[in-house]
Amino acid sequence: MKRILIIGATSAIASACARLWAAQGASFFLVGRDAGKLDALAGDLTVRGASASHRWQMDANDVSAHSSMLDAAVKVLGNVDIVLMAHGTLPDQAACEADATLALREFQTNGTSVIALLTILARQLESQRSGAIGVITSVVDRGRPSNYVYGSAKAAVSTFCEGLRARLFKSGVSVTDIRPGFVATPMTRDLPLPGVLVARPDVVGRRIVAGIARGADVLYAPGFWWWPMMAIRCIPRLLFKRMAL
């Protein structure tokens, strides 16, 4: 039986992963801001076969609450086999450009709050000398004018994960940098996305669950996103800054 801690558990992608783990009889510690949504998810997972679903209400930006959350998770789960970090927002880039306070708040939600949580989670799994951490970042790995506040926060997390992966490898702990492309979620509902490139959460969830199980280092979801992102990385800076991306 897997013991799984999910932060940002009610997000569409995290919920899709949880449903797959529930079918395997996993035990969950579900963390999110909305108590009602957490209760609904916990009930759904129980119906799907979860052995237990504990809930913990927390805003990930409240760094002072992180330690007590992890203490509670360890108390009810024992050792933690899998951690999935799935919280985040999709900020309004223009609004962030007009308001430095908003830009910093969005960077904290998508960047520094994740790093703060990973810091304490790493100590727990390192002490266990086992476990897997999956962190949802983004396929966006260059600073594009349309979303560079979001992209820079996710890039910071990816770089942090790279160093953390090398550190925890020695303790038998894997760190998977999960890079979803366009996914049909409430967060992207109003965006003008090309339909052929938009994946369903359950498709992305299956790839994430399989990738964490095999200890993948970097996981594009769906996998075809590796190709266009490689092409974008290869665009010379002289040309890149002239493109409308």
Of the candidates 117, 120, 131, which has an alpha carbon nearest to the alpha carbon of residue 2?
Answer: 131
CB 208 within 8 A of CB 18: no
Compute the average pLDDT of residues 147-166.
96
What confidence tier does 195 reach under pLDDT thresholds 50, 70, 90?
low
* Amino acid in position 139: V
DSSP E strand stretches across 90-212: 132-136, 174-180
How many angstroms separate the CA atoms of 33 and 7, rounded? 10
Give the largest Cα separation in the chain, rounded: 55
Tell me which amino acid residue 194 is: P
Structure tokens of 17? 């992963």
How many beta carbons lie within 10 A of that of residue 103, not counting itself? 19
Q: Look at residue 191 in the predicted model and tell me its pLDDT.
A: 62
- Our separate counts of H helices and E strands in the chain read 10, 7
- Cβ-based neighbour number of residue 32 at 10 Å: 24
What is the reported pLDDT for 242?
Answer: 86
Q: Where are the domains of the chain?
A: 3-240
Identify the band that residue 61 occupies on the pLDDT scale cut at 50, 70 and 90: very high
Query: Which amino acid makes up residue 192?
Result: P
pLDDT of 231 > 60? The answer is yes
Spatial contact of 208 and 86, defined as CB atoms under 8 Å apart: no
Q: Give me the phi and psi of 178, to 5 degrees please.
A: -95, 120
Determine the average pLDDT of the residues in 108-120.
98
* Radius of gyration of the chain from its Cα atoms, rounded to whole angstroms: 18
Please state, rounded to an integer, the average pLDDT across all residues of the chain: 93
Q: If pLDDT is split at 50, 70 and 90, which confidence band does 228 have? A: confident
Rounded CA-CA distance 173/167 in Å is 9
Residue 64 — pLDDT band, cuts 50, 70, 90?
A: very high
More confident: 227 or 164: 164
Peptide bond before 228: cis, by omega within 30 degrees of 0? no
Instruction: Using alpha carbons, list the distances in angstroms from residue 111 to 49, 73, 106, 133, 158.
Output: 33, 22, 8, 16, 9
Answer whether 111's CB lies under 8 Å from 60's CB.
no
* Cα–Cα distance, 203 to 207 (Å, whole number): 7
Give the pLDDT band of residue 53 (cuts 50, 70, 90).
very high
CA 146 distance to own-chain centroid: 21
Q: Once rounded to an integer, what is the mean pLDDT over residues 179-189?
A: 76
What is the rounded distance in angstroms from the CA atom of residue 112 to the CA atom of residue 121? 14
CATH assignment of 3-240, given 3.40.50.720, 3.40.50.880, 2.40.50.140, 1.10.600.10? 3.40.50.720
Locate 154 and state its tokens: 């996710």
Pairing label, strands 174-180, 82-85: unpaired
